[in-house]
Amino acid sequence: MNKLRPYLFAAAVGGFLAVGFGAFAAHGLTDPKAQAWMHTGATYAFMHVMAVFAAAFLAGGGLRRARIAPPLFLAGIVLFSGSLFSMALGAPRWLGAITPIGGTLFLAGWAVLAWACLEPARD
């Protein structure tokens, strides 16, 4: 579990930021498109922050392959949510081309967790 501590720290910071960006979407933005991007980014970020904690729990419980998922989820948050947050705050729209890469990293993280659950039980 100690090897996952940096990922857990990053997830905790990500959770903090997800709540902050979600609140900003609700109270600090007037443009409906920007609000939607910010809300979607915050929702997916928070969901995958929780997935990092779940993966760490599974890894601590003996599913070694689960250790691969946290960096995939965190990179997905940076690319998926980060690109949406950036566009909501006025960055160029071409950043939207990065968003699906983050989504692919989310999918890879979930696939790794499924694969980890197929590991033989350890006694």
Question: From first to last of its 123 residues, what are the pLDDT tens digits of the chain?
Answer: 678 899 999 999 999 999 999 999 999 999 999 999 999 999 999 999 999 999 999 998 889 999 999 999 999 999 999 999 999 999 999 999 999 999 999 999 999 999 999 988 665
Query: Into how many domains does the chain fold?
Result: 1
Q: Does a structural domain hold residue 94?
A: yes
Q: What is residue 79's predicted lDDT score, i.e. its pLDDT? A: 98
**Secondary structure of the chain as H, E, C letters:** CHHHHHHHHHHHHHHHHHHHHHHHHHHCCCCHHHHHHHHHHHHHHHHHHHHHHHHHHHHHCCCHHHHHHHHHHHHHHHHHHHHHHHHHCCCCHHHHHCHHHHHHHHHHHHHHHHHHCCCCCCC
Cα 55 to Cα 73: distance, rounded to the nearest angstrom: 10
> Domain range for residue 72?
2-116
Q: Does a structural domain hold residue 122?
A: no
Q: Does a structural domain hold residue 28?
A: yes
